[in-house]
Amino acid sequence: MIFIVVKFAVKPEHAEEWPSRVEAFTQATRAEPGNLWFEWSRSLDDPDTYVLVEAFQDDAAAAHVGSAHFAEAMETMRPLVQRAPEIVSTTIPGTTGWSRMGELGLD
């Protein structure tokens, strides 16, 4: 599984509209073959920061980055962000999804 986390520092004047501006990109990515999840969160410490957590089957991330909706999203996002997003991208061998956190003992 390819696991990716991206932090977007959005310009304050665009922070409230960010979810609606990236909605088409979000829906198109979720519909891609090999997409495992694509989820947005807003930082509790900085309301101008959005965090994207996404995962793809090992062979699907390259197609995502090469897609027309990805290119369009980059053009949409560019004027809305303060700077280039920060990213962590890694491959987690043998993993295909979320695991349970056993430390809370709820299962």
CA distances (Å), origin 70, targets 30, 37, 47: 12, 16, 24
- pTM for this prediction: 0.91
Phi, psi angle pair for 17, to nearest 5° = -90, -10
Range of the domain at 8: 2-94
Q: Give the rounded distance of the alpha carbon of 52 from its chain centre.
A: 3
Q: What is the mean pLDDT of residues 9-27?
A: 98
CB of 13 within 8 A of CB of 79? no
Q: What separation, in Å, do the N-terminal and C-terminal C-alpha atoms of the chain show?
A: 25
| pLDDT tens-place string over residues 19-69 | 999 999 999 999 999 999 999 999 999 999 999 999 999 888 888 999 999
In a domain, 58, yes or no: yes
**Number of folded domains that form the chain:** 1
Q: Is residue 47 included in any domain, yes or no?
A: yes
Domain contains 101: no
Find the CATH number of the domain harbouring 45. 3.30.70.100
Please indicate, yes or no, if residue 8 is contained in any of the structural domains: yes
Residue 104 lies in a domain: no
Beta-carbon-side half-sphere exposure of residue 37 (alpha carbons within 13 Å) = 11
Contact 78, 9 (CB under 8 A): no
Q: Indicate whether 26 belongs to any domain.
A: yes
